[in-house]
Amino acid sequence: MERQRELDLSGKVVVITGASRGVGKQAALDFAKRGAKVVLAARTVKVDSALPGTIGETLRQIEDMGGEAIAVATDLAKEEDLRRLIDAAVERFGGVDVLVNNAAATTGDIWGKPFLDLTREEWLYQFDVNVHAPFTLTQLVVPIMEKRGGGRIINLSTGSGEVFRKAEEPPKLNAQGGFSLAVPGYYSSKRALDRFGNCMAPELHAKNIAVIGMHPGLVATELVQIRVKERGLDDSVAVPMTIPARMIVYFSACENPAEYTGRLFWAEREMADMGIELDEEGAVCPS
């Protein structure tokens, strides 16, 4: 792939789920540096002793850099919260131009739980957060984007997707380094999200809306760092959060998203192949 020119994001309205920490937070900061107006969605509104970060903290960081944002407490498993999130974006900023479906069910006993120990309730919850929430949010934002002339929807995927560009996809690994990948509900639901984007791309393309899937890789998020510390895992395979965040911004700003719509990309590989750089502080560098 050849790198495209990146358009100005000043004034664009970006909704990001899972923005209290990790890739979602980093992407929110990077969008704000480009002048976008950011709508931050996450469940974490109070400081949690187990996990760092709140949407309020992300909001303050954006405001401290002179950016515009709002924080909306959102439980992705609740349809009423999803509707309230988009309503808040429209009420405050007038619409939505970019939707980043970043949040996923990755905490608690679900992660690493053997298949036979997984309850139906836990299985369904992962689909509620990882598939049904993006489905509902997409239905809510498409009419808004269409009225504004188009938009972008970025779905965060996983290594279970077909990102390897080989004739036959390699078998799924049980682990990457010391990190367990035995999370059937997570990987199954993310694969469903990949297919959803692929299936919806032609219909949304007619409305000038691109839907792009991106595999961030194993990322050195706060949660990963906690697992490294608690379990003594090797984190040498983890990439910085700035890499997937940079590619989220790229796909949101690229001049011709039609080249990418309906497809699934791997952040680290695509960033290297297209020669996309970070600045010295990890912030994005417009081309």
Report the C-alpha gap between 110 and 94 in whole angstroms: 38
3-state secondary structure of 37: strand
Does 125 participate in catalysis according to the annotation? no
Pick from 142, 132, 17: which is nearest to 73 by CA?
A: 17
Structure tokens at 265: 């990309």
DSSP string covering 198-239, please? HHHHHHHHTTTEEEEEEE--SB--HHHHHHHHHHT---TTPB
Strands (E), the chain: 13-17, 37-42, 68-73, 98-101, 151-156, 175-176, 179-180, 209-215, 264-266
Q: Which of 125, 186, 187, 250 is catalytic?
A: 186
Q: Which residue is associated with the tokens 């994005």? A: 284
Bridge partners, residue 212, by sequence: 154
CB atoms within 10 A of CB 196: 18
Pick from 80, 89, 124, 119: which is nearest to 105 by CA?
A: 124
Residues annotated as part of the active site: 186
